[in-house]
Chain A
Amino acid sequence: EAGVAQSPRYKIIEKRQSVAFWCNPISGHATLYWYQQILGQGPKLLIQFQNNGVVDDSQLPKDRFSAERLKGVDSTLKIQPAKLEDSAVYLCASSLDLGTENYGYTFGSGTRLTVV
Chain B
Amino acid sequence: RKEVEQDPGPFNVPEGATVAFNCTYSNSASQSFFWYRQDCRKEPKLLMSVYSSGNEDGRFTAQLNRASQYISLLIRDSKLSDSATYLCVVNRLYRGTYKYIFGTGTRLKVLA
Please give, as numbers and ranges, the residues of chain B lying within 8 Å of A55 by CB-CB distance: 94-97, 99
Please give, as numbers and ranges, the residues of chain A lying within 8 Å of B103 by CB-CB distance: 42
In B57-112, which residues have CB < 8 Å from any A CB?
87, 91, 93-105
Number of B residues with CB within 8 Å of any CB on chain A:
24
Known A-B contacts A108-B43, A109-B43; A45 and B95 likewise in contact (beta carbons under 8 Å): no
Q: Quick check: is A26 within 8 A (CB to CB) of the other chain?
A: no
Q: Quick check: is A21 within 8 A (CB to CB) of the other chain?
A: no
Known A-B contacts A42-B102, A50-B96; A102 and B43 likewise in contact (beta carbons under 8 Å): no
Determine how close the nearest CB of chain A comes to the CB of B52; give it in whole angstroms. Answer: 17
Chain A-chain B contacts (Cβ-Cβ < 8 Å), number: 55
Q: Quick check: is A97 within 8 A (CB to CB) of the other chain?
A: yes
**Which residue on chain B has the smallest CB distance to residue A93?**
B100
Interface size class of A (residues with CB under 8 A): 20 to 34
Please give, as numbers and ranges, the residues of chain A lying within 8 Å of B30 by CB-CB distance: none
Determine how close the nearest CB of chain B comes to the CB of A5; give it in whole angstroms. Answer: 12
Per DSSP, chain A at the interface is strand
Known A-B contacts A42-B87, A102-B91; A107 and B96 likewise in contact (beta carbons under 8 Å): no
Known A-B contacts A102-B91, A107-B45, A109-B43; A45 and B98 likewise in contact (beta carbons under 8 Å): no
Interface residues of B (CB under 8 A from A): 4, 8, 32, 41-46, 87, 91, 93-105
Interface residues of A (CB under 8 A from B): 31, 33, 35, 40-45, 48, 50, 55-56, 91, 93, 95, 97, 100, 102, 105, 107-110, 112
List 26 contacting pairs A-B, 8 Å CB cutoff, sorted by A. Answer: A41-B105, A42-B103, A42-B104, A42-B105, A43-B102, A45-B100, A48-B97, A48-B99, A50-B96, A55-B96, A55-B97, A55-B99, A56-B94, A56-B99, A91-B44, A93-B100, A97-B97, A100-B93, A102-B91, A102-B98, A105-B98, A105-B100, A107-B44, A108-B43, A109-B42, A112-B41
